[in-house]
A and B are shown apart, each in its own frame.
Chain A
Amino acid sequence: MVKGNKEKRRVYRLPPCPAYDVEGMESWLADMARDGLLLCRDGFFAGFAAFERADPQDTRGIKYRLEAAEKSTSMWADDGGEPDAEAVEISEKYGWEYIAKRCDFYIYRSSDPAARELNTDPVVQALALNTVRKRQRSAALSCLFWTMIYPIIAIRGNLFITMIGIRTWYFLFGAALLFWYLAASIGRALHLGRLRKKLLNDGTIDHGKNWRKRVYFYHAGTVIRSVLTIIWACILLQKWGISASNADKIPLSDYAADPPFATIADLSPGGEYSEDDYLNTNKVSEWSDWLSKYNIDWSEIASVRRSDGTILSGGLYVDYHEAASPWIAEKIAREYVRTDRRNRNFDPLELPALDVDFAVAYTHTINLPTVVLRDGNKVIHATFYQASETYIMPLEEWVDIMIKSIKS
């Protein structure tokens, strides 16, 4: 099929200002019309505006107006977020055609220079804007909940453990993005409030506002935020994949370094050590973080035949951190205790006076003996359950060995 000269080709543009910048949007769309570009019906999608080419001679006098939507413009709303049929009919009678919606605004277009304005009463227009402003305020509060309050609830107060676990730089990256979205949400509500006040005070809207003034700032902000969000999401997927496949852990048998804490072999030195890795769970991971320069996650199921023939066996699970400061180490230690305290069957155990800055022992869940120790900037959270029928090492003994190991 041969393309005719009259076929309207679509042109896509990034809007130079946010949807709630009523003056900027009206001015921009009018300027686009002067250049022969008419906004397409339902012409906003994925942040872009679609235009059809027309003869600039025919489109010079076209004007656009944004009308605040009294109800939700979501495509999931009962009526697809479209304006009321009555509103469209009334507008058509006075020379205005409904074209598209963008966020909380309907966009109308008129090619009749003598058409009466869409809004002739600034107080009434301010009333309509107030409805949108309240909706934006609710959205900002919702954003505040999901960006600030829910994460605090979700991590259950374990800020430092969470940051170290997912890497502090990544945590702060995500927090900065959340603050950016929250600030944008608040900014929308504030801008609408200012526009509403302007209508009530001056009674005018600047339909010819200079939208070019901050266009680079707006585009840069939009692009940067979008790219950063995609990067953050990609990293999240990568981390999830690594965590699900344990790709960040190596088998203990392949671990060549000497951990800075006592392992099952160290609890009974000189004995005959053997790994009982029938579940393939004997793994270790090491990493570094801004808040804690050296971190180890240790999981070991093993047994040691002692010189007297008895067997020390069981599982040793250690979280070890060398925090950036004793203050951070203290926070980490207390978070471990707080986390385990929420488990069922939490039961504190007595410990003698120990030569460390912090020591708490307890059992939890299925009677798992656990100790949290801090010495300076070093923190150990160790759970050692014992399964031997011939020998059970007393809590104080293995805790003492642990303390000596982190002090050495």
Chain B
Amino acid sequence: MPRKAMEVLTESMFYVLMAFCRGPMCGIDVADYVEKRTNGRVQIGPATLYTILAKFEKEKYVREIEVEGRKRTYCITGKGLDAYTAELERLRRCVADAEDSALSGGYNGG
């Protein structure tokens, strides 16, 4: 059965949840955290970030805890933590499967 939109977390979504696992943050802080954490490899665009925050809030992965002027601070919810943990576990399995495959047969491309 095909997965629904929010069942599959993209890399940007995964890193946003990772940022919130550190603690409550506002949007700009999330983008800065992700860029620093990935050494600039993952740079989240403003529209992408805002869309992710809006979707996560709608899906109750995060909730708004403070509004100060234009700045809104969010924190991760239990549901968000579960989604992050599930995605982390999925990625670990993918890496483990890939490493097992490399150990057992090597790469036969060419």
Q: CB of A392 within 8 A of chain B?
A: no
B residues less than 8 Å from A120 (CB atoms)? 12, 43-45, 48
Interface size on A, residues (CB 8 A): 27
Mark out the residues of chain A between 102 and 128 whose CB falls within 8 Å of any chain B CB in the assembled complex: 108, 116-121, 123-125, 127-128
One of A67, A89, A130 near B47 (C-beta < 8 A): A67
Kindly state the separation between the CA atoms of A112 and B47 in the bound complex, as whole angstroms: 16
**Interface 1/0 per residue, B55-74 and A, CB below 8 Å:** 10000000000000111100
Complex CA gap A118/B31 in Å reads 13
Are A121 and B70 in touch, CB under 8 angstroms?
no
Q: Does A90 contact B (CB under 8 A)?
A: yes
Q: How many residues of B contact A (CB 8 A)?
A: 26
CB-based contact B51/A90 at 8 Å: no
A127 to B46, Cβ gap below 8 A?
no
Residues of A within 8 A of B45 (CB): 94, 116-121
Residue A396 is within 8 A (CB to CB) of chain B in the complex: no
Asked if A3 lies at the interface with its beta carbon under 8 angstroms from chain B, I say no
Q: Is B28 an interface residue (CB 8 A)?
A: yes
Q: How far is the CA of A119 from the CA of B52 in the complex (A)?
A: 11
By a CB distance below 8 angstroms, the chain A residues around B101 are none
- Inter-chain CA distance A127–B69, complex, in Å, is 27
Q: Which residues of B from 14 to 34 have beta carbons under 8 Å from A?
A: 26-28, 31
CB-based contact A124/B52 at 8 Å: yes
Q: A87 in the interface, Cβ–Cβ < 8 Å?
A: yes
Q: Which residues of A contact B55 (CB under 8 A)?
A: 124, 127
Q: Which residues of A contact B72 (CB under 8 A)?
A: 86
Query: Does A84 count as interface, using CB distance less than 8 angstroms?
Result: yes
Partner of A119, one of B5, B26, B47: B47
Decide if B48 touches A86 in the complex (CB within 8 Å): no
CA distance A123 to B7 in the complex (A): 12
Give CA–CA (A120, B70) in the complex, Å: 23
Given contacts A121-B12, A127-B55, contact A87 B46 (CB under 8 A): yes
A65 within 8 Å of B (CB atoms): yes
CB of B50 within 8 A of CB of A90, answer: yes
Q: Is the CB of B70 within 8 A of A125?
A: no
* Closest chain A CB from B2 CB (angstroms): 12
User: B34-50: contact bitstring with A at CB < 8 Å (1 yes, 0 no)?
Assistant: 00000000011111111
Q: B10 contacts which chain A residues (CB < 8 A)?
A: 121, 123-124
* Pair A70/B54 contact, Cβ less than 8 Å: yes
- Interface residue? A93 (CB, 8 A): yes
Whose C-beta in chain B lies nearest to the C-beta of A83? B50
Known contacts A121-B11, A124-B13, A127-B5: A91-B48 contact under CB 8 Å? no
A94 touches B5 (CB 8 A): no
Min Cβ gap A102→B in Å is 16
* CB-based contact B46/A94 at 8 Å: yes
Please tell me which one of the listed residues B13, B43, B47 contacts residue A91 in the complex, with CB atoms under 8 A apart.
B47
Q: Judge whether A85 is part of the interface by a CB distance below 8 angstroms.
A: yes
Q: Which of B67-106 contact A (CB under 8 A)?
A: 69-72
The reply to whether the CB of A362 lies closer than 8 angstroms to some CB of chain B is no
State A139–B93 Cα separation when bound (angstroms).
44
Extra A-B contacts (5), CB below 8 Å, given A90-B46, A124-B10: A65-B47, A88-B70, A93-B46, A124-B55, A128-B47
Q: List 14 A-B contacts (CB under 8 A).
A: A86-B26, A87-B46, A90-B46, A91-B46, A94-B46, A118-B47, A120-B12, A121-B13, A121-B45, A124-B12, A124-B51, A124-B52, A124-B55, A130-B5
